[in-house]
Every structure is written in C-alpha cells, then in structure tokens.
C-alpha cells in the first residue's frame, strides 16, 4: 500500500521561484492530476516527488517517512516516466523490455507488458526504427515491469493514438485498484475517475507568473 504527502513545498530552479507552499496528501488507490499553465512547475514537481530534485523548503513523505531519509530506497519504489523516452536504439523492442525488466525486478512480465502495449508484433524491431508513438508505448512498458507502488507520469500519452491512450487509462485504473498511487500531468483528455486535482498556478508567486516555462 502506498501513501504520499507533501507539505509546504518550495521549488527554486536557477534564479526562479517556481512554486511555494504546495501541499497534498494521497492514500492507496488515489490519483492526482496536475494542472496549471506552462511554467507552473508540473515537471519540476514530478521530479521532486521522484527524488531527482531537492526542494528549497518543505517535506515529502512516503509511507510515513521523509524521502530524504532514504532517497535510493524511495526511487526503488517509484516509477517515473518523464518527457524523454529511455529507449536504447541499439536494442530491439524485446531486448529493451528485457533489460528494464531485469533492472526493475519483474523479468517474467516481458511478454505480458509487450502484449498490453500492442508491441508483440514489433518485438524484433530495432529501437532506432520506431516511430515516436511506438517509442512511447515501449517506454510505458516500464510501468508494467516494475513493482513500484508510486507512478509519476509526465505527459504519458504524448504521441499516442486513441487506442493507446485507452490502454494507458486502463493501466492506471488497474494500478490504483491494486492500491497504487498515480500522479500525472497531461494536456489531453484522460479518464481518471475520482482523481484529485492540483493546480500549480495557485502556488506560483505573483512576481514570477510571467516567467519562462520550467
């Protein structure tokens, strides 16, 4: 079971104060949809929650413990999907999935993950010849190849067609049904029943609201 909370988070990127005083609390099965204008810090917040950045102030708690007490342990229980697809061009679709499955801990799930994302027929193709949508679907198999309770998804449906978006929606629903927690940002319609919403624009200092995106 996963629990995640943030209290009085403040994020500074370079000279820019991106947001301050941000907080939320999520329990097992919850989902949080991040909204807000470009530059309000959605990607920065996801990286903070993944333990890839450190807040200027505030605290992030996972299952009752500050993630700063054991960053590596927190990362091991977190699946983060950013803008960049981590597909190795020199490996085939199946080899990429096998590599991630071995690294993340569920090597017996490769065939199921590829089938779920409709990649079985592409298994022998090299990563370098995949379209952007195919690369994104391959990257999404990482979620199914990891035992992580916490999913942090930054624009997970970029480049995907309607059918693939529906698949991701079902993956998220299944993860929540198992007691997982999902936090995601998206600029397209995404079915997320019962989700909480966090508008990062509400936490942007007035003096910085017209600054460039982060």
Residue pLDDT, tens place only, 176-200: 999 999 999 998 899 999 999 999 9
Structure pTM? 0.93
Confidence of residue 39 (pLDDT cuts 50, 70, 90): confident
Q: Which of 147, 145, 137 is nearest to 117 (CA)?
A: 137
What average pLDDT does the structure give for the chain? 94
Give dist(CA 26, CA 4) in Å, integer.
5
Residue pLDDT, tens place only, 2-12: 799 999 999 99
Quote the pLDDT of residue 2: 79
Confidence of residue 72 (pLDDT cuts 50, 70, 90): very high
Give the start-to-end residue ranges of the domains of the chain. 4-208
Rg value, the chain, Cα = 17
Residue pLDDT, tens place only, 91-145: 999 999 999 999 998 999 999 999 999 999 999 999 999 999 999 999 999 999 9
Q: Is 212 a residue whose pLDDT tops 70? A: no
Give dist(CA 68, CA 4) in Å, integer.
13
Quote the pLDDT of residue 1: 55
Quote the pLDDT of residue 187: 85
108 beta partners: none
CATH architecture of structural domain 4-208: 3-Layer(aba) Sandwich (3.40)
DSSP H helical ranges for the chain = 42-49, 71-76, 93-104, 110-116, 132-144, 162-177
Quote the pLDDT of residue 210: 54
- 3-class state of residue 63 by DSSP: coil
Token pair belonging to 192: 């997320």
Backbone angles phi, psi at 93, to 5 degrees: -55, -50
């Amino acid at each position: 079971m996963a629990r995640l909370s943030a209290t009085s988070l403040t994020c500074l990127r370079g000279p820019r104060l991106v947001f301050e005083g941000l907080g939320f609390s999520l329990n097992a099965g919850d989902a949080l949809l991040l909204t807000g204008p470009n530059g309000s810090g959605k990607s920065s917040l996801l990286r903070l929650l993944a333990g890839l950045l450190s807040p200027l102030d505030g605290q992030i708690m996972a299952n009752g413990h500050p993630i700063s007490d054991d960053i590596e342990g927190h990362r091991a229980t977190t699946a983060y999907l950013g803008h960049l697809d981590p597909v190795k061009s020199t490996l085939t679709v199946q080899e990429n999935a096998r590599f991630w499955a071995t690294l993340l801990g569920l090597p017996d799930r490769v065939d199921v993950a590829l089938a779920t994302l409709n990649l079985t027929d592409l298994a022998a193709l090299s990563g370098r010849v995949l379209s952007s949508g195919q690369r994104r679907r391959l990257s999404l198999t990482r979620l199914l190849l990891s035992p992580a309770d916490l999913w942090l998804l930054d624009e997970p449906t970029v480049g995907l067609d309607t059918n693939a978006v529906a698949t991701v929606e079902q993956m998220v629903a299944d993860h929540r049904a198992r007691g997982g927690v999902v936090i995601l940002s998206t600029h397209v319609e995404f079915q997320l029943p019962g989700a909480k919403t966090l508008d990062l624009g509400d936490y942007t200092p007035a003096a910085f609201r017209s600054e460039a995106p982060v």
